[in-house]
Structure 1
Amino acid sequence: MQINEVKDLMSQFDGSSLREFSYATSEFNLSFSKNNGVPVAPLAPSAPVVAAELSQAVSETTPAVAATAAPSEAVSLAEGEVVTSPLVGVAYLKPAPDKSDFVSVGDSVKKGQTLLIIEAMKVMNEIPAPHDGIVTEVLVSAEAMVEYGEELVRIK
């Protein structure tokens, strides 16, 4: 691949809504990312190993951080049914940048009400509430990349 081709790919990637792009051949491997230093989630088989290494590293190097992490885990065990992502894409918590969030913690929702939008292949997919209830937790951040089955919102 010539440098001009790489520059053209970079330009097209920069102008797209893609967050990551990888291209590999037997000769080279090319990857682009717009994730601002946020680590990409590892593949499922290595996830427990990475999580164990990370928790061990945190407890060894910063005991104060490890001690404060335990209460936050209790907070994330909020009551209610978890709404999971039906597809892979980018999660949007607002209908537009200048609008307020679809839902916030404590909001009452009706069955079918839009909780958030997931953009996949330039299509905006509304994620509806499966039943009436109260939002107890929003588990994703704005414009975060979500995977199939990832927890999005908890409704009680």
Structure 2
Amino acid sequence: MELNFNELRELVTTLSQTDISELTLKSGDFELTLRKQGALVVSSPSADTVSVTPVPVSAQSGEIPQPIVVSPPAAPPTPPPSVDSNLVEITSPMVGTFYRAPAPEEPPFVDVGDRIQSGQTVCIIEAMKLMNELEAEVTGEIVEILVENSQPVEFGQPLMRVKPN
């Protein structure tokens, strides 16, 4: 399979305008993988995978293309949501999966409007197959639950907002 520089440029442009994050083309000994993170990988069965930038596209044309960087389109900045300064956020102490209840068939630890006490379990964060109960550090009322059940969470991500007493 031969691919000239203009065809490659058109392919990269088309890929950048889609939701596709990775595209692999294979033909015989030729393999081309494009990833939106900017990696361009060329490999063949007879050689180890090699990251190449720039890549000679065609020995016949003698052209050596400039480095190609594919980036996702920039999202417009969103203003941070207005948060009542009197509210206290319960944040995730680790990366993991957020669970509102101790088991799928059981009721959630807390719901919006519930009164909680300091030390009360409000959710579970599963990390590396370990279930970690997260306890409230404040007494008050749950005003908002910011994460859906069974969703991944990051370290420091707000999970709930509490109106303290």
Length-normalised TM-score, structure 1: 0.53
More helix by share: 1
User: Which amino acid counterpart does residue 54 of structure 1 have in structure 2?
Assistant: A
Q: Distance in 1 between matches of 2:149 and 2:133?
A: 14
**What is aligned with 1:143?**
150
- Larger relative contact order, structure 1 or 2 (CA cutoff 8 Å, min sep 6): 1
Alpha-carbon deviations, 1:91-129, whole Å to 9, x = none? 101111111111111000011111100000111001101
Q: Distance in 2 between matches of 1:93 and 1:83?
A: 13
**What is aligned with 1:27?**
49
**Residue segments in structure 1 that go unaligned for 5+ positions in a row:** 1-25, 29-49, 57-69
**1:54 equivalent in alignment to 2:54:** no
User: Which amino acid counterpart does residue 130 of structure 1 have in structure 2?
Assistant: E
**Residue segments in structure 2 that go unaligned for 5+ positions in a row:** 1-47, 51-71
Length-normalised TM-score, structure 2: 0.50
**What is aligned with 1:85?**
92
Alpha-carbon deviations, 1:31-56, whole Å to 9, x = none? xxxxxxxxxxxxxxxxxxx7x94348
Q: 2:160 aligns with which of 132, 141, 153?
A: 153
**What is aligned with 1:46?**
none
User: Which amino acid counterpart does residue 80 of structure 1 have in structure 2?
Assistant: L
User: Which amino acid counterpart does residue 145 of structure 2 have in structure 1?
Assistant: V
Q: 2:118 aligns with which of 111, 115, 122?
A: 111
Q: CA RMSD in A?
A: 2.8
Q: Distance in 2 between matches of 1:96 and 1:27?
A: 45
More strand by share: 2
Work out the number of aligned pairs and report it.
94
Alpha-carbon deviations, 1:53-83, whole Å to 9, x = none? 4348xxxxxxxxxxxxx9xx56xx3551001
User: Which amino acid counterpart does residue 90 of structure 1 have in structure 2?
Assistant: T
**What is aligned with 2:132?**
125
Alignment of 1:36-47 (within 5 A): none
- Once the two structures are aligned, what percentage of the paired residues are identical? 40
**1:101 equivalent in alignment to 2:108:** yes
